[in-house]
Amino acid sequence: MAFQLSPGINVSEIDLTTVVPSIATSIGGFAGNFNWGPVNEVTTITDEVRLVERFGKPDSTNYEYWFSAANFLAYSNNLKIVRAANTTSTLNATANASGVLIENTTDYLDNHESASNTTYGPFAARYAGVLGNSLRISICPSSQAFSSNLTATDSVTANTTASGNTVVQVTGNPTSNVYVGDLVSFDGGTSYVRVTAVTSNITVASAVSALPSSNPAPPNPPLGAKPISFGCTPKWPQIDVTR
């Protein structure tokens, strides 16, 4: 580089347009196609972890947008992001079959909070996108469905199931009290199997041991247990069995 042999003034021109200083005051703005997060709303992102939490991970359709934003966050901690989306095809998953676009919290409060839910049902995903299709909500309809002693009319018939069978014979009408998806126990609450069909009998997903000749006394049934009169304990399927 050039240098001076005597005192004087040296003028240098340096192009800094391609450099993002690593300081908090460097603010960037970005709009892109992301899979999750609020639509048409400015969101401040401080690092790549929060980028994933709010707007999801990159895929083959949006990796250019995603990594451009992540690259800026490697040098700064203040990026204003707006998620752009096709407002016709990008919808929030709902309890019913039809989807609806709820762009962000402001849109929800202004246009959807008090709207009729007859078309979309009582629940919708927080953000628009196919990720919302993986959400599952289960409502326990009553205290009896959650935990109750069922009537003796739906009792398990003693010694009618050989060890290894998946069909358990039941007297009465089990369809009134036991449902597909329920977890049931035939050993007093020690182990549970999931119900796959209910007719005049109960069909379970995996084999059960031979039923005892008398009704066992279940020791401290787990949360949500609903004892039937003869050694069968069904419970609401969304209860954590390990509690």
Give the residue carrying structure tokens 């401040």: 44
Q: How far is the C-alpha of 68 from the C-alpha of 64, rounded, in Å? A: 6
Q: How far is the C-alpha of 235 from the C-alpha of 243, rounded, in Å? A: 13
pLDDT tens, per residue, the chain with 243 residues = 566 677 777 778 888 777 666 555 688 999 999 999 999 999 999 999 999 999 999 999 999 999 999 999 988 889 999 999 988 889 999 888 778 899 999 999 888 887 666 678 888 899 999 888 888 777 777 666 665 555 544 555 544 455 567 777 776 677 777 778 777 776 666 677 778 888 877 787 777 665 554 444 444 444 443 434 334 444 555 544 333
Give the residue carrying structure tokens 């929060």: 50
Decide: 184 and 199 in contact? Cβ < 8 Å.
no
Q: How far is the C-alpha of 89 from the C-alpha of 100, rounded, in Å? A: 9
pTM of the predicted model, to two decimals?
A: 0.58
Decide: 226 and 149 in contact? Cβ < 8 Å.
yes
